[in-house]
Structure 1
């Protein structure tokens, strides 16, 4: 294993605010275009989606590969990525041996950083994603079910990140439904941009995107963009996730009585009680049905 990040990270900011720091992966052979051209075709097709390079922040990012195809094969997309206005997303490239040491190093280092923060003794559900995109391609506005560290390997981009737990940015019911694995989309409108924190993102930069923070990306015009994301849950975000699932499952039932569940992320004791109650709630409804 090797050290992925420079020392001195402000670990107290994890999942509170977005912030940048430096990574040490620019020379990793698996992350070059040559390395990717060799490894990606060897991955299962289910791990890779690709589409046109998107230009509308309101597009449903989860369905872009279904609704905005580029008409090319994967190999053609890789070979022409500089000029074909395309976007490639690779889920779990750790299935290929070229990425396994990198994955293990990221997992060990993020575990230690979380322990230093005091928010978690472990990380859960760690996953790696790769994103390869043509110049000027966009990643539409969306939010994730995980904490995220995004590492820029090649090219540049502007990344706009929005505060989490803000219902005026991501509506509470949308966030809760998404965390309960429903197919919903956070609505985008240009007025939201006033709340964005924007980062000029270049090779060697890492950005921490807090849990459920809305964000979008605009790639620079000068080169293909290669970036690597490492997603994970923590003890804290698992508590938030389960509390949101609890809220989503009771919301319609209690609203009939004029009651609205309190939003998650503002009281750790209430969130903890909901997270602990979720298995009991699920069991009661299974019995009732």
Structure 2
């Protein structure tokens, strides 16, 4: 019996398209604001980032907790979040006992769904993130290094999801650099909105956001928003990630010798070859760094 996801989830669409379904976590005690107020101060400081309630899709989401501080401590941010203007992002709360069983359930059920849909024999790099935000706060346009299931616990929001592997939305070199853990600039342009698929999102709703699909979120005005994201990689997305890292590390060398990189996602054979060749690219990068130092 499923503890997290409703029956009938279209497993065959995972990593292929965004789709809504239902989750079963509304009554989980750790996800209530009272439970979060207790758990969050007990996490390592680096796991809890908070800022002003964001209002611009052009903000760099990765740097918001540094560049847009709200001037409050964590306890005061939680206490005032309903009537204030704050945004809290929490990484890997499964390190706390309150979330360990939930994390195990999510991993088990998603592994079964991936096998059912034929996408992957197992799940890779599973993670939980929590997002708690004041009414009307915005999650700026960004994309993730993982596939994602976003689950709404409290409040409402509009979620806009964009097609992945579209260089007119996320340029190829930018996507490759980000997948290789390099910083990138904010990408939003107003003309991108014509490509969005928009979902009305309320408590009990879940949404699958495919690997590297750009997206943004606008919270409703009536209440605090609490949502949980379950991130994961599959056999296929892990292959894509390594192939993008290969492209990024070899890009300067290939330009120097006049070769053109083939973007990831166009050839299964070529992506697999690049994925296996990543250690060679790492060796070339190390050699290039030593030569530059010399």
Structure 2 length-normalised TM:
0.96
TM alignment of 1:232-243, pairs within 5 A? 232-243=232-243
The residue number in structure 2 matching 1:149 is: 149
In the alignment, the residues of structure 2 paired with residue 104 and residue 264 of structure 1 have an alpha-carbon distance, to the nearest angstrom, of: 32
| Deviation digits for residues 221-246 of structure 1 (CA, Å, limit 9, x no counterpart) | 00000000000111111100000001
In the alignment, the residues of structure 1 paired with residue 204 and residue 122 of structure 2 have an alpha-carbon distance, to the nearest angstrom, of: 26
Checking the alignment, whether the CA contact within 8 Å between 1:171 and 1:186 is kept in structure 2 is no
Aligned residues: 289
Deviation at 1:257, TM superposition (A): 3.5
Checking the alignment, whether the CA contact within 8 Å between 1:91 and 1:129 is kept in structure 2 is yes
4+ residue segments displaced more than 3 Å:
284-289
Matched, 1:225 2:225: yes
In the alignment, the residues of structure 2 paired with residue 251 and residue 2 of structure 1 have an alpha-carbon distance, to the nearest angstrom, of: 45
Q: Secondary structure at the match of 2:280?
A: helix
Structure 1 length-normalised TM:
0.97
Checking the alignment, whether the CA contact within 8 Å between 1:170 and 1:186 is kept in structure 2 is no
The residue number in structure 2 matching 1:118 is: 118
Deviation at 1:186, TM superposition (A): 4.6
In the alignment, the residues of structure 2 paired with residue 51 and residue 90 of structure 1 have an alpha-carbon distance, to the nearest angstrom, of: 12
In the alignment, the residues of structure 1 paired with residue 285 and residue 104 of structure 2 have an alpha-carbon distance, to the nearest angstrom, of: 39
Checking the alignment, whether the CA contact within 8 Å between 1:52 and 1:70 is kept in structure 2 is yes
In the alignment, the residues of structure 2 paired with residue 260 and residue 47 of structure 1 have an alpha-carbon distance, to the nearest angstrom, of: 40
Checking the alignment, whether the CA contact within 8 Å between 1:142 and 1:185 is kept in structure 2 is no
| Deviation digits for residues 202-260 of structure 1 (CA, Å, limit 9, x no counterpart) | 00000000000000000000000000000011111110000000111111221233322
Deviation at 1:68, TM superposition (A): 0.2
Q: Secondary structure at the match of 2:227?
A: strand
Q: Secondary structure at the match of 2:116?
A: helix
TM alignment of 1:69-84, pairs within 5 A? 69-84=69-84
Matched, 1:140 2:140: yes
TM alignment of 1:141-180, pairs within 5 A? 141-180=141-180
Deviation at 1:185, TM superposition (A): 2.9
Structure 2's unaligned 5+ residue stretches are none
Range 278-287 or range 215-224, more displaced? 278-287
Deviation at 1:2, TM superposition (A): 5.5
Query: Please, what is the CA RMSD of the aligned residues?
Result: 1.2
The residue number in structure 2 matching 1:266 is: 266
In the alignment, the residues of structure 2 paired with residue 80 and residue 284 of structure 1 have an alpha-carbon distance, to the nearest angstrom, of: 51
Deviation at 1:287, TM superposition (A): 5.2
Q: Secondary structure at the match of 1:128?
A: strand
The residue number in structure 2 matching 1:9 is: 9
Checking the alignment, whether the CA contact within 8 Å between 1:174 and 1:186 is kept in structure 2 is no
In the alignment, the residues of structure 2 paired with residue 201 and residue 282 of structure 1 have an alpha-carbon distance, to the nearest angstrom, of: 42
